């Protein structure tokens, strides 16, 4: 284990140890160095995964200093793969995938095809076999689940429509890679040459082997999905009734490791596939959240050891030895995949903003790439140099992924200031949705405009529509606008902070503008544009900070409000009434606090003259003095 030190001349001398502690040393040194590397990476605003891989490089055989026991580390990494794939299956949601299936399934398949062809074309230039090209291209086509989820969480877009599309896209990629891991050993005879051990196998023999493999997989899936979905939850339910958390955690780990090992021993299925479907079985049970919480610490620990072991296989000299090859691989990951995903998403009629989010999310490779290229090297399909290039591409692309997101944010802002270019990119119906239908009898007048039709905007829109008040919606989600128009609700697709969009809503003749989006900078720009077209329009704004409330108060808006502030008002109102305060007195106190302007809300006070434009309703009950 880490007791082999190199001498300057290249020779090594094994330091005697009192007894064999290679397993302990492997785990301890792997976790300690991974912690140091991950912490440094976090301080540098990089994903911790970069630090874990670098830690593996440090203890690998290609760098000076301590050398890890590669065999021991490989077995620990296999446990990491099992728990990593178990976690992927545990968080796999058929419902989430089906909700974005129209774009995620065909989009992911097309992007995988493009990336695989780019990778295969590249290695063909290098003189590699077609089989090596397919494996190498597949390894370049799949993004890292860990990196993608962390990036979307950091940007608070995981639950948005763009985030769901990116996650659904990645789920499809993961499923394709799982299938590749199952079929690759069987197809090695076709993809490789005599060195793979298959020799000149006949087509009939290969077809028979393929059918046999698929039959085993089908039998395994039948047992897991039919028997496992009933037996595993039943066992966990009885274990949970014991009240022992340790026993429940042990049952979860035993399920993951047991199914993974059994799938390999009995059906010849990979550990990764067995662990994935073990997670899928648990994901549909009532204990999925508790199982995920209990297995997470061990899953994270062994996943770290997996990334460390991958780093140990990386030869940093490839950066000096084959710099052009590394640049070519990185170009496919950052440019080839991104451009392909961007074009595919636009072709399916989604806005440029969604296309940019998906493109940035996929501009990296990770754990499945490591597993797949490792299997390719083991089967003799890919030379060891291919693994070095994949690892170099992963390290560099993961490191650069935050910069990619920032770059794409800049591109989005640049496109927002150039509506003509944006309309060309979104030509599939985008131009028609960016204006009200011409079938309307007359131009809107004395109406309300709601910018943003998410959870907040929907409530406001429903309230106004129920009162038969004229409303026009502006939203940046094309599908949402299409759904609203299908219901007969006037809606415009576009960014309200872009000149021209508000004009199409008839804002010059509108009475009220409700801004229900949380972006502070865009809110200010929207108000500026609205005031240029209608100086007397009443404005109600959703905000995120006290500083923004103060600014909006100085701009004379009718209402500026934060969600947390109104939440506290609701709780305070209930608490007062629950303790015997009359509803009228409680409402008077809440209203007094609301219009005080202290903290996270501001409403134009009754003593401040209203704008010339009349209110949507004749009077506000809030404006009456409480008795």
Greater confidence, 575 or 46?
Answer: 575
In angstroms, the Cα distances linking 524 to 7, 162, 410, 415, 423 are: 65, 24, 19, 19, 24
CATH 3.30.70.20 correct for 4-415: no
Q: Is the pLDDT of residue 114 over 90?
A: yes
How many percent of the chain have pLDDT more than 90? 14
Confidence category of residue 557, pLDDT binned at 50, 70, 90:
confident
pLDDT in tens, 440-452: 556 778 899 999 8
- Tell me how far apart the alpha carbons of residues 14 and 249 are, in angstroms, rounded to a whole number: 40
Tokens encoding 500: 């021209």
The span from the CA of 225 to the CA of 381, in Å, is: 32
Question: Above 80 in pLDDT, residue 210?
Answer: no
The β-bridge relationship of strands 471-475 and 491-493 is: parallel
Which of 519, 512, 471 has the alpha carbon at shortest distance from 495? Answer: 519
Q: Of 28-42, 191-205, 475-489, which one has max mean pLDDT? A: 28-42
Here the contacts of 48-53 (C-beta below 8 Å, separation 24 or greater) are 49/144, 49/146, 49/147, 49/307, 49/366, 49/398, 50/395, 50/398, 50/399, 52/304, 52/307, 52/308, 52/311, 53/307, 53/308, 53/310, 53/311, 53/314, 53/391, 53/394, 53/395, 53/398
Q: Residues 325-342: pLDDT tens digits?
A: 999 999 999 999 999 999
- Which tokens go with 159? 């639950």
SS3 string, 276-334, reads HHHHHHHHCCCCHHHHHHHHHHHHHHHHHHHHHHHHHCCCCCHHHHCHHHHHHHHHHHH
Measured CA to CA, the distance from residue 602 to residue 552 in angstroms comes to 8
How many Cβ atoms from other residues are within 10 Å of residue 511's Cβ?
20
pLDDT at 333: 95
Least confident of 119-123, 130-134, 207-211, 352-356: 207-211
The average pLDDT across 284-296 equals 73
Beta strands 512-515 and 538-543, pairing class: parallel
Continuous H helices in 101-144: 101-125, 130-141
Q: How far apart are CA 538 and CA 616, in angstroms?
A: 10
285 pLDDT higher than 90:
no
Higher pLDDT, 310 or 241: 241
pLDDT of residue 504: 82
Cα–Cα distance measured from residue 116 to residue 94, given in angstroms and rounded to the nearest whole number: 26
Lookup: tokens for 283 = 């994901």
pLDDT at 611 over 60: no
> 387 with 146: CB under 8 angstroms?
no
| 314 contacts 388 by C-beta, under 8 angstroms | yes
Average pLDDT of the chain, as a whole number:
78
Which of 13-42 are b and which e, b meaning 16 or more Cβ less than 10 Å from the residue's Cβ? eeeeeeeeebeebbbebbbebbeebbeebe
Sequence ranges of the domains in the chain: 4-415, 443-623
Give, for 514, the enclosing helix (H) or strand (E).
strand 512-515
* C-alpha–C-alpha distance, residues 90 and 92, integer Å: 6
- Rg over CA atoms, the chain: 29
Angstrom distances, CA of residue 92 to CA of 80, 151, 283, 613: 18, 18, 7, 52
Tokens of 368: 């499945």
Identify the H or E element spanning 151: helix 145-154
- Could you tell me how many residues make up the chain? 627
Q: Provide the terminal-to-terminal Cα distance of the chain, rounded to the nearest Å.
A: 81
Round to whole Å and give the CA distance between 598 and 595.
8
DSSP H helix total and E strand total for the chain: 28, 9
Average pLDDT of the segment spanning 235-260: 85
Residue 363: the pLDDT is 92
Q: CB-based burial of residue 573 (10 Å sphere; 0-12 exposed, 13-18 middle, 19+ buried)?
A: middle
Q: Which of 10-19, 297-306, 610-619 has the lowest mean pLDDT?
A: 610-619
Q: Residue 564: what pLDDT?
A: 72
pLDDT for 597: 52
Enter the pTM of the model: 0.65
- How, if at all, do strands 12-14 and 601-603 pair? unpaired
CA nearest 277: which of 86, 78, 80, 84? 86
Binned at pLDDT 50, 70 and 90, residue 541 comes out as confident
Average pLDDT over residues 445-465: 88
Lowest mean pLDDT among 83-97, 137-151, 215-229, 303-317: 83-97
Q: For the residues 93-101, what does the mean pLDDT come to?
A: 71
Mean pLDDT of 507-536: 85
* pLDDT the model gives residue 400: 87
Which tens digits make up the pLDDT trace of 49-71? 888 888 888 887 888 776 667 67
3-state helix, strand, coil in the chain (%, to 5): 65, 5, 30
Q: Are 555 and 528 in contact (CB under 8 A)?
A: no
Whether pLDDT at 610 is above 50: no
The two tokens of residue 187 are: 């197809």
Q: Is residue 330 within 8 Å of 395, Cβ to Cβ?
A: no
What is the CATH code of the structural domain delimited by 443-623? 3.40.50.720
Residue 9 scores a pLDDT above 50 = no
pLDDT for res 68: 67
Written as one string, the DSSP assignment of 219-236 is HHHHIIIIIIHHHHHHHH
The pLDDT of residue 262 is 83
- How does strand 601-603 pair with strand 559-562? antiparallel
Asked if residue 193 has pLDDT above 70, the reply is: no
- Of the candidates 415, 437, 397, 398, the one whose C-alpha atom is nearest the C-alpha of residue 346 is 415
Residue 178 banded pLDDT, cuts 50, 70, 90: confident
Dmax (CA) of the chain:
96
Tokens read off for 570: 């609701």
Convert the pLDDT of each residue in 469-506 to its tens digit: 899 999 877 778 888 888 888 888 777 877 678 888 88
Task: Identify the residue with better confidence: 91 or 228.
Answer: 228
Question: What was the pLDDT predicted at 163?
Answer: 79
pLDDT in tens, 353-405: 888 889 998 999 987 888 889 889 988 899 988 988 998 998 888 888 888 98
389 burial level (CB within 10 Å; 0-12, 13-18, 19+): buried
> In terms of Cα–Cα distance, which of 414, 278, 307, 281 is closest to 356?
414
Looking at residue 123, what is its pLDDT?
93
Q: What is the pLDDT of residue 624?
A: 42
Q: Is the pLDDT of residue 98 over 80?
A: no
Residue 143 has pLDDT above 50, yes or no: yes
Q: Would you say residue 313 has pLDDT above 80?
A: no
Using DSSP's 3-state secondary structure scheme, residue 417 falls into coil
Average pLDDT score over residue span 620-624: 42
Quick check: 435 pLDDT over 50?
yes
Rounded CA-CA distance 149/157 in Å is 10
Nearby residues of 44 by Cβ (< 8 Å), 6 or more positions away:
none
Q: How confident is the model at residue 595 (pLDDT cuts 50, 70, 90)?
A: low
Residue that wins the pLDDT comparison between 603 and 176: 176
Stretch 314-335: mean pLDDT: 91
Q: How high is the pLDDT of residue 35?
A: 92
């Amino acid at each position: 284990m880490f007791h082999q030190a190199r001498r300057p001349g290249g020779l090594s001398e094994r330091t005697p140890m009192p007894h064999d502690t290679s397993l302990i040393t492997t785990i301890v040194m792997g976790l300690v160095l991974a912690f140091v590397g991950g912490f440094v990476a976090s301080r540098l605003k990089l994903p911790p995964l970069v630090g874990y891989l670098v830690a593996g490089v440090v203890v690998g055989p290609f760098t000076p200093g301590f050398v890890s026991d590669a065999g021991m580390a490989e077995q620990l990494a296999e446990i990491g793969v099992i728990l990593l794939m178990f976690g992927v299956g545990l968080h796999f949601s058929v419902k989430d995938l089906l909700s974005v299936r129209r774009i995620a399934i065909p989009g992911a398949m097309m992007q995988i095809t493009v990336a695989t062809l780019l990778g295969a074309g590249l290695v063909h230039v290098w003189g590699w076999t077609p089989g090596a090209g397919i494996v190498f291209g597949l390894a370049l086509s799949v993004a890292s689940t860990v990196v993608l989820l962390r990036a979307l969480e950091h940007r608070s877009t995981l639950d948005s429509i763009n985030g769901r599309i990116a996650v659904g896209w990645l789920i499809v990629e993961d499923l394709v890679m799982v299938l590749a891991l199952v079929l690759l050993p069987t197809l090695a005879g076709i993809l490789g040459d005599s060195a793979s051990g298959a020799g000149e196998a006949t087509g009939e023999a290969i077809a028979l082997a393929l059918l046999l493999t698929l039959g085993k997989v089908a039998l395994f899936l039948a047992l897991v999905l039919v028997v496992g979905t009933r037996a595993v939850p039943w066992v966990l339910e009885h274990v949970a009734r014991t009240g022992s958390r340790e026993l429940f955690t042990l049952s979860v780990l035993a399920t993951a490791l047991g199914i993974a090992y059994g799938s390999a021993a009995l059906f010849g299925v990979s550990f990764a596939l067995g662990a994935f479907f073990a997670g899928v079985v648990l994901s549909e049970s009532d204990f999925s959240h508790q199982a995920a919480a209990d297995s997470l610490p061990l899953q994270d620990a062994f996943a770290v050891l997996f990334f460390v072991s991958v780093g140990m296989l990386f030869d940093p000299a490839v950066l000096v030895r084959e710099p052009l090859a590394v640049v070519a691989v990185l170009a496919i990951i950052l440019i080839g995949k991104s451009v392909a995903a961007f074009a595919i998403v636009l072709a399916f009629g989604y806005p440029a903003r969604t296309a940019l989010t998906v493109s940035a999310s996929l501009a990296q490779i990770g754990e499945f790439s490591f597993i797949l290229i490792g299997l390719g090297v083991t089967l003799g399909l890919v030379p060891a140099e291919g693994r070095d290039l994949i690892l170099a591409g992963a390290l560099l692309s993961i490191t650069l992924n935050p910069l990619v997101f920032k770059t794409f944010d800049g591109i989005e802002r640049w496109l927002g200031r150039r509506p003509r270019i944006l309309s060309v990119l979104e030509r599939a119906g985008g131009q028609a949705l960016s204006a009200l239908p011409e079938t309307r009898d007359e131009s809107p007048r004395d109406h309300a405009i709601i910018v943003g039709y998410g959870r907040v905007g929907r409530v406001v829109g429903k309230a106004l529509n129920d009162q038969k008040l004229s409303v026009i919606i502006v939203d940046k989600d094309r599908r949402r606008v299409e759904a609203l128009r299908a219901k007969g609700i006037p809606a415009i697709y576009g960014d309200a902070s872009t000149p021209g969009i508000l004009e199409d809503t008839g804002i010059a003749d509108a009475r009220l503008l409700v801004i229900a989006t949380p972006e502070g900078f865009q809110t200010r720009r929207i108000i500026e544009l609205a005031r240029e077209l209608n100086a007397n329009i009443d404005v109600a704004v959703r905000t995120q900070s006290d500083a923004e409330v103060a600014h909006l108060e100085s701009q004379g808006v009718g209402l500026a409000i934060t969600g947390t502030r109104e939440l506290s008002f609701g709780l305070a109102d209930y608490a007062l009434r629950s303790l015997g305060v009359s509803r009228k007195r409680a409402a008077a106190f809440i209203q007094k606090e609301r219009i005080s302007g202290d903290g996270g809300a501001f409403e134009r006070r009754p003593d401040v003259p209203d704008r010339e434009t009349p209110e949507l309703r004749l009077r506000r009950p809030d404006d009456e003095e409480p008795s």
